[in-house]
Amino acid sequence: MAASVSTAMRKATLQDIADLAGVSRATVDRALHGRGRVMEGTRQNILRIARELNHSPNLRARGLKLSQSFLIGMVVPNISKSFYADVVEGTEECLKEHGYGLILCNIVARQSAERYQTILRMQGVDGIISCAETGYGWERHLRAFADEGTPVAMINYRVRGVDGPVVYVNQRKGGYLAAKCLLDAGHRRIMFIGRSKGYINLERKQGYRQALKEAGIEPEEQLSISFENWDEEFDLFVNGLMGGKEPPTAAFIPSDLAAARFINRLQSRGYRVPDDLSVVGFDDLSSLEWFIPRLTTIRQQKKEMGFYAAELLLAGLKGRETKDILLDVSLVERHTVASLPERKIADFKGDVTGG
Amino acid sequence: MAASVSTAMRKATLQDIADLAGVSRATVDRALHGRGRVMEGTRQNILRIARELNHSPNLRARGLKLSQSFLIGMVVPNISKSFYADVVEGTEECLKEHGYGLILCNIVARQSAERYQTILRMQGVDGIISCAETGYGWERHLRAFADEGTPVAMINYRVRGVDGPVVYVNQRKGGYLAAKCLLDAGHRRIMFIGRSKGYINLERKQGYRQALKEAGIEPEEQLSISFENWDEEFDLFVNGLMGGKEPPTAAFIPSDLAAARFINRLQSRGYRVPDDLSVVGFDDLSSLEWFIPRLTTIRQQKKEMGFYAAELLLAGLKGRETKDILLDVSLVERHTVASLPERKIADFKGDVTGG
DNA sequence: GTGAAAGCGCTAACAA
DNA sequence: TTGTTAGCGCTTTCAC
């Protein structure tokens, strides 16, 4: 008992084990790693002593020698958004299996970008996983890391000028499925509500346009809107488009969060969803699990995004060839899409053929 | 240009700077840290060269010498629950200000507890922040860390046998406020729905009981229920208590998530909330932002919990005295509590006085 | 099979 | 004010 108390004071080193075993550090090292030849007897003895001393290798020392840290930086825009928490969980799951520590980098301002560039650099992380359009100048820092030789894996899109594997999501298919679902329900005047810029939204919009075109509908730019300031612009929208003589009957909103906001506003103006307007979102956020009406949306494999990015990064560290990954998306049908009554469809068709 | 390309290949070391400045490593070290005396001219020169070389200290080397890692382990049961994501965000915010890296430890199974005990130990973290009742044997590992001298800060309660500052939440006051709010609305038969074990729930229940007693009501054990298996037991509950001749009119459910589930079930059985039953939850989860009816609940300062735990831990590392913190809670009145119609109150009072 | 020795980058005690 | 030196714990040649 007294012995175990005293040994607990300082962590055991290879030298401690070597002393007790009556061998050299080098031999202990070999025995512990199963590298090189060590007599079976000595090996067993060393292993036993190591266990008794509760030895665990000092990664700082090993890393100093090997220029490794067994640390990976994980960069996200905002961990308190369920989307990123899910992605992080996937990465974390993979890294822990491989003995790597995950340094969480939450980039919520220009200052945090600076901070984490410093922290990751000083810690000498073995690699960086960068998720989504972080902003705040992070892209520039990431490029600097890449230029210095730090391996990088990206999620969602390739940061310009940065080499490394990318986990893509089939955004375009998502947009396509969303619009298709609405078209299949008989809708013809389908809005796209969201920004028409940035790689991700642009892809989603492309998919939406493609579905419309395949259905013989020319996408109208008038039906593509975006709210910068909801309080001001939502009124304009309701009084304008929605109140017009040929109001849209459906909307594809490439973000669940925006879809929820939109539906809420709509409801407070007396509209019903999906009765008056059908809506399809994007993301399938777990934080909207309780939103009523339950959102019909496009599911992204969030945990997988993080997991595969980590796998690719680690594979790269081991010198293996890596290829970009394209993750599939799927339509989750819930309660925000209604079939357009035949009457309305007929009316609308009449309009078109008649015009 | 050529020079900058070549210098980018390897990270600059103190020696590199020393060579260029024509001084020794020690002098560079002193200049960079502002420790000890260095001639102003040499200092400026060294600083300039360091900047040109884009030098950043190698924490592995420094740590090896100083027995520090500038790494903190943050242990949570499940990062994909918004509650823990919020707590982690608070910790992260504090740590990054101080240049520490946060290693995220998501303990979702016995195996992850093992993994992280290994990872944190090998990385030689400077401290550990442990949040809530993690389970999966983590407590035992935490104790081992503490025994070995790793500083620990805890959130929510003290792990038995572990020394270190604790950030408490006034759970009891929360339970009290919840029950009080229901009492003030005229309710008398108020259920407690949740487990009656574990420090946290027990405290919340104590507060609830205290409020009832202060209102002259003796808490009935019959009104304290817990669902282990919702599918089976909810039916029993509806047919039993709710269908009885003196059904409860309100419930304090010390967990927003459980409250949401409960309300959903209730609604699907035809009950209305708050009309037929008032409900107060606990946590004020951001993931229930969209839950309708919006939950009346007890707000915990989640980010603050993480932030203060980090502050306490770092203060301890600097050798400063630390004291436990007790965080306040507050009632957030939203839409799940209704006043009991006077009639019912009168009826009930009659029952009691008449009995 | 095993040991001796050098060195990863940094810090700090001691000398000059 | 500055340099020399030793050493943190581990890995890895190179001898033996």
Q: Are A96 and B116 in contact (CB under 8 A)?
A: yes
- Angstrom distance, A53 CA to D14 C1': 31
The pLDDT of residue B133: 83
A7, pLDDT greater than 50: no
- pLDDT tens per residue, range A123-136: 999 999 999 888 89
Among chain B residues, the shortest Cα distance to A76 is held by: B89
The pLDDT of residue B344: 55
B355, pLDDT greater than 70: no
B44, pLDDT greater than 80: yes
Phi, psi of B314 (to 5 degrees): -65, -40
Percentage of chain B modeled with pLDDT above 90? 87
The mean pLDDT value for B298-323 works out to: 97
B157, pLDDT greater than 60: yes
The pLDDT of residue B175: 98
CA of B24: nucleotide with nearest C1' = D3
- pLDDT tens per residue, range A158-187: 999 999 999 999 999 999 999 999 999 999
Q: Report residue B341's pLDDT band, with 50, 70 and 90 as the boundaries.
A: confident
Handedness of CA B159, B161, B167, B172 (dihedral sign): positive
Phi, psi of A135 (to 5 degrees): 80, -165
CA of B17: nucleotide with nearest C1' = C9
Reduced to 3 states (helix: H, G, I; strand: E, B; else coil), residue B186 is: coil
The pLDDT of residue B354: 36
CA distance B231 to B211: 31
**Does B80 sit within 8 Å of A85, measured CB to CB?**
yes
Percentage of chain B modeled with pLDDT above 70? 94
- pLDDT tens per residue, range A65-86: 999 999 999 999 999 999 999 9
- pLDDT tens per residue, range A212-264: 999 999 999 999 999 999 888 999 999 999 988 899 999 999 999 999 999 99
User: Which residues sit opposite A130 in a β-bridge?
Assistant: A75, A154
- Angstrom distance, A36 CA to C1 C1': 9
The mean pLDDT value for B249-275 works out to: 95
Domains defined along chain A, listed by start: 2-57 (1.10.260.40), 69-164+303-328 (3.40.50.2300), 171-296+333-347 (3.40.50.2300)
Cβ-Cβ contacts under 8 Å, A93 against chain B: 106
The mean pLDDT value for B176-181 works out to: 98
A343, pLDDT greater than 90: no
The mean pLDDT value for B238-250 works out to: 91
- In chain A, at which residue ranges do the beta strands (DSSP E only) sit? 71-76, 101-106, 127-131, 152-155, 166-169, 190-193, 224-225, 250-252, 278-280, 297-299, 325-327, 330-332
The string of DSSP codes covering A5-49 is: HHHTTS---HHHHHHHHTS-HHHHHHHHHT-S---HHHHHHHHHH
**Does A291 sit within 8 Å of B286, measured CB to CB?**
no
- In A145-232, at which residue ranges do the beta strands (DSSP E only) sit? 152-155, 166-169, 190-193, 224-225
- pLDDT tens per residue, range B184-199: 999 999 999 999 999 9
Which residue, B75, B218, B235, B58, is CA-closest to B155? B75
The mean pLDDT value for A320-339 works out to: 97
The pLDDT of residue B36: 79
Looking at the partner chain, which of A9, A96, A260 has a beta carbon nearest the beta carbon of B116?
A96
The pLDDT of residue B342: 57
The length of chain A in residues reads 355
Mean pLDDT computed over every residue of chain B: 92
The pLDDT of residue A344: 55
The mean pLDDT value for A301-313 works out to: 98
Q: Report residue A319's pLDDT band, with 50, 70 and 90 as the boundaries.
A: very high
**Does B59 sit within 8 Å of A123, measured CB to CB?**
yes
Cβ-Cβ contacts under 8 Å, A112 against chain B: 96
- Angstrom distance, B16 CA to D5 C1': 19
Amino acid present at A134: T
The mean pLDDT value for B56-77 works out to: 97
